[in-house]
Structures are given as C-alpha cells and as structure tokens.
C-alpha cells in the first residue's frame, strides 16, 4: 500500500511542491515509490514542521550523470540526494559531493561500520534478497542455490537489469562462500564461472529496472521468484498483505546515503536536514515505515522487537550475508557492465 499523504502533507503541500526549491528551502532527490513515500512521512514533513524550511521533492533512478552535469555546469539545483554506495564510490573520487563536516551532523562513531563516509552519511541499511509467493511455493525456496534451481522450483526469475549482486549470487549458487566471492570475481576465471551459472537460468529471467517492479511481478505471477530490495517486499507483506516470503540467505548488505552535491546553494539547510534525519529517534521511524535497518546504532532501542524482526539487521537474518563491496564495483564496474550488456544482447 502506498503511504498516503497525511494531514501534515496537506498542510505543507506548497512546501513539497515539485520544481526548483525556493531560496529559503531545499530540494531533496530520492528514488520514488513507497521508499520515498516513507521518507516523506519520516523525514521531509517532520523536518518542515520543526524548522519551517521548505522541502521540494524530486525523483531519479540513480543517474550519477545528472549530478555531474549540475556540478560541472555550476548550477546545482539538488541540495541533498539519496545515493547508493556505487555512486559514492565513484562520485567521491570525482569530487561530485561535498566533504562532510560531521560536527554539523553527528559523531561518526554513532553510525554502524561503513555508514559514515567522507562525503556521504548512511540513511538505511538496505539489502537485496530473493522473494517468492507462498501460494506458488509453500515450502521454499530457502537459499540462493534454490533461486537457480529451475527443476526444484520451476518458473520465471526476476533479476535487476544490472550486473550487481547477480554475478555474486551466481557464484554463491555455484558453491562459493560469500566471503570469497569478490576474490574470485576479481579473476577472469571467476567472471567466466559467474556468467556460466547465469546462463543456466537466462531463458527464464524477467529483468526489472525499478524498485517497485519485483513485488508487482510476483503479484501478477509473472515470476515465481525474484530478487528485490527487502524493504519493498516487506511493505508488500505488511501493508498490502501479499503472501510473499523473503529468502535471507546470502542477502547482499549495503547502504543508501545522504549526500550533498558539491556547490549546493543551500548548504546550511542541507546540513540541518541530514542532522535531523540522522537522529536516533527520527531514524527509528524509518524502519517502522519501510523495513530498512537504521544506520545510527542508537536507533534500534527505539524499535519494537516485532519490527526489528522484519529488518535485514535482525540476528537470524545475518547468518550468511554477502557484504556488498562498492570499492570492487568502483574498480571493475565499467568492464563488468560492458560484459553484462554484451551477454544480455546474445
């Protein structure tokens, strides 16, 4: 269920109107869908109510080129952007984001390891998981190997139309331990092995490109099993009462971050927003709304046990995780994406 615009949103509707931010406000850009709906009621509206700073929302699909064009052109219209770790790995090196002054946000020690970088601060622990419809498979699948097993669990597979996590899961399904994946994927033999495993299900793959699609593909019975971002699936389970289940085996742990494009026009307000969004009690509400893990370590104490059980950071979901390596993808992403696109075209 898409989170509705509540009374607060109505009251501040003009402040959240589309378009370029006013001089005394900020423009925040995120990924749309139920994820941004959750951010609206968790962060944007309460920030407006507390500070009076106007917030203009925009959406994108993670195109770093759009940020680069603004920075290089000297006309930065986005003040705060929700970015993923791949964007940070390359965007920081390219100087596209402000180097953060954590004295204006929160002590870096308050964040989980990896969430406080020089030019971005984590907003959620996000993870890629497999998901299925329990009316189709009452007893599973249970592992990434099952995801690739078309005999035991027949039907179409949904996968993100990018190489990230797909290559890692292919190796894990072929018997490689998560801790060894990137070492092997750094070799030509490992890359060949990953693509060979993907070949075994290629004819059954339905490619998705937006975070809202996997749940819809499952609901429409267009796929039997799909990769997905866990928070999107949990929303479908909790709010829409869909009969879906999550496979936590080899979940790919990662972060989304807040970043300020270099040259943003409203730096003080941007820092104020990120500091507000990093507060433990405020961040805890995000996990209640969108089922992503908090990056502020103190936030968990403000989350009820039954909600904690839906998060990727729950103890029983962390028995065999794949820790996504953005630095690996920063170094190898261009070559592997080229090979992936060539493989798709065959």
Do 120 and 137 fall into the same domain?
no
Residue 214 lies in a domain: yes
Does the pLDDT of residue 19 top 70, yes or no? no
Residue 331 lies in a domain: yes
Residues in the chain: 346
| pLDDT score recorded for residue 89 | 86
**pLDDT band for position 2 (50/70/90)?**
very low
Do 199 and 274 fall into the same domain?
no
pLDDT above 70: percentage of residues in the chain: 93
| pLDDT score recorded for residue 34 | 81
Contacts of 160 (CB under 8 A, 6+ apart): 128, 166, 207, 208, 209, 227
Do 112 and 131 fall into the same domain?
no
Residue 274 lies in a domain: yes
Where residue 222 sits, what CATH number does that domain have? 3.40.190.10
Residue 189 lies in a domain: yes
Give me the domain span that covers residue 42: 7-125+255-308
Do 341 and 259 fall into the same domain?
no
**pLDDT band for position 6 (50/70/90)?**
very low
| pLDDT score recorded for residue 326 | 86
Please give the residue that has the higher pLDDT: either 138 or 316: 138
Do 115 and 132 fall into the same domain?
no
Residue 1 lies in a domain: no
**pLDDT band for position 24 (50/70/90)?**
confident
Do 210 and 259 fall into the same domain?
no
Contacts of 148 (CB under 8 A, 6+ apart): 169, 170, 173, 197, 200, 201
CA distance 115 to 85: 10
CA distance 307 to 291: 8
Residue 275 lies in a domain: yes
Instruction: Calculate mean pLDDT across residues 45-57.
Output: 97
Does the pLDDT of residue 28 top 50, yes or no? yes
Do 214 and 320 fall into the same domain?
yes
Does the pLDDT of residue 104 top 70, yes or no? yes
Does the pLDDT of residue 123 top 90, yes or no? yes
Does the pLDDT of residue 10 top 50, yes or no? no
pLDDT digits (tens, 9 = 90+) for 287-325: 888 888 999 999 989 999 999 988 998 888 988 999 899
Does the pLDDT of residue 12 top 50, yes or no? no
Instruction: Calculate mean pLDDT across residues 188-217.
Output: 97
Do 61 and 199 fall into the same domain?
no
Do 230 and 295 fall into the same domain?
no
pLDDT digits (tens, 9 = 90+) for 59-77: 999 999 999 999 999 999 9
Do 329 and 235 fall into the same domain?
yes
Q: Is 322 helix (H, G, I), strand (E, B) or coil?
A: strand
Do 140 and 82 fall into the same domain?
no
Do 120 and 263 fall into the same domain?
yes
Does the pLDDT of residue 279 top 50, yes or no? yes
Task: Please provide the average confidence, as pLDDT, over all residues in the chain.
Answer: 91
pLDDT digits (tens, 9 = 90+) for 235-245: 899 889 999 99
- What's the sign of the alpha-carbon dihedral 22, 88, 329, 233? negative
What are the DSSP calls for 94-112, one per residue?
TT-BPPP-GGGT--GGGBP
Nearest 10 degrees: Cα torsion 26, 27, 28, 29: -170
CA distances from 221 to 34, 107, 148, 149 (A): 21, 46, 18, 18
Q: Which of 98-107, 150-159, 325-334 bottoms out in mean pLDDT, i.e. has the lowest?
A: 325-334
Helix (H) or strand (E) holding 80: strand 80-84
Residue 2 lies in a domain: no
Indicate the pTM of the whole model.
0.73
Strand 205-208 and strand 244-259: the pairing is unpaired
Q: Count up the domains in the chain and report the number.
A: 2
Residue 240 lies in a domain: yes
């Amino acid at each position: 269920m898409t989170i509705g615009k509540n009374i607060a949103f109505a009251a501040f509707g003009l402040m959240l109107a589309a378009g370029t931010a006013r001089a005394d406000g900020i423009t925040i850009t995120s990924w749309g869908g139920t994820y941004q709906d959750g951010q609206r009621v968790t962060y944007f509206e309460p920030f407006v109510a507390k500070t009076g700073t106007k917030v203009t929302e925009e959406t994108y699909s993670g195109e770093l080129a759009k940020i680069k064009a603004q920075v290089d052109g000297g006309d930065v219209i986005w003040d705060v952007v929700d970015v993923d770790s791949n964007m940070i790995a390359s965007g920081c090196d390219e100087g596209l984001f402000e180097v953060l002054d954590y004295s204006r946000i929160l002590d870096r020690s308050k964040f989980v390891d990896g969430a406080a970088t020089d030019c971005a601060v984590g907003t959620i622990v996000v993870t890629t998981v497999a998901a299925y419809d329990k009316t189709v498979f009452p007893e599973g699948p249970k592992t990434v190997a099952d995801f690739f097993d078309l005999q035991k669990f027949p039907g179409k597979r949904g996968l993100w139309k990018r190489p990230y996590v797909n290559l890692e899961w292919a190796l894990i399904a072929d018997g490689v331990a998560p801790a060894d994946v990137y070492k092997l994927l750094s070799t030509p033999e490992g890359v060949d092995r990953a693509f060979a495993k993907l070949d075994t299900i290629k004819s059954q793959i339905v490619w998705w490109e937006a975070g809202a699609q996997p749940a819809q593909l499952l609901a429409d019975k267009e796929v039997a099993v799909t990769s997905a971002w866990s928070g999107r699936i949990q929303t479908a389970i909790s709010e829409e009462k869909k009969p879906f289940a999550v496979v936590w085996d080899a979940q790919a742990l990662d972060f989304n971050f807040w970043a300020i494009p270099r040259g943003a026009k409203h730096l003080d307000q941007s820092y104020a927003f990120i500091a507000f969004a990093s507060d433990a009690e405020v961040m805890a509400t995000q996990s209640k709304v969108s089922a992503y893990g908090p990056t502020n370590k103190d936030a968990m104490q403000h989350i009820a046990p039954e909600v904690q059980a839906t998060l990727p950071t729950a103890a029983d979901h962390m028995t065999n995780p794949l820790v996504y390596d953005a630095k690996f993808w920063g170094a190898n992403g261009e070559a592997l994406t080229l090979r992936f696109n060539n493989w798709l075209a065959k």
